[in-house]
Amino acid sequence: MGGSGRHRQVHRFSRLRTGLLAAAGPAAATLVATAATVAALIGSGRSAPRADGGAAVVPAAPPKLPARAARALRRVPVRARPVRHRAARGSARPAPRTEVVGGGRCDASFYETGTATASGAPYDPEALTAAHRTLPMGSRVRVTNLRNTRSVIVRVNDRGPFVPGRCLDLSAAAMRAIGGMLSGVIPVRYEVLAV
């Protein structure tokens, strides 16, 4: 620290000492005198005496960066992390976009009982499955209830229904998902999704 720096430090300390003495009165005089001694020692670069007779080590000021390094640090861009807004609890996430390769409108019914499906797998009323007369086994179909616009994606694993006007027989879980259990037969729009 140069001479002008020491002068500024001593000047700041004298203003601090005056303020402390005015606020605390004579009781702070000893504290201020000790602080003045330490400040003078720091300004001169010498060590303060310790109670055990040794010399206390005054920490050196942190080294200044070279001008070139300081300029390089100023050029480093600060990138803020993107803010991610959480969806409110209970709100549905938007469905992923999938390619629709076919579809139509018809009536859909549901069935709760059965032993085996046309695919060979046992019928599970709690699985999201459906029966269709012609779609390939394993086809994914989005079924939308036209009365309330609720939809569900099912997988075709059976054949049927064999009633005129109906194109889909849904499992009980699939029909419950689109709110058609009480009606039994509902108008739907179905979209065949790309696998």
* pLDDT, tens digit (0-9, with 9 covering 90-100), for 66-97: 676 666 666 655 555 655 656 555 545 555 56
Beta-ladder partners of 168 = 108
CA distance 71 to 113: 77
pTM score over 0.95:
no
Q: Reply yes or no on domain 100-193 having CATH 3.40.50.1370.
A: no
Q: For residues 116 and 123, is the Cβ–Cβ distance under 8 A?
A: yes
Sorted by where each begins, the domain ranges of the chain are 1-49, 100-193
Interval 163-182: pLDDT, tens:
888 999 999 999 999 999 88
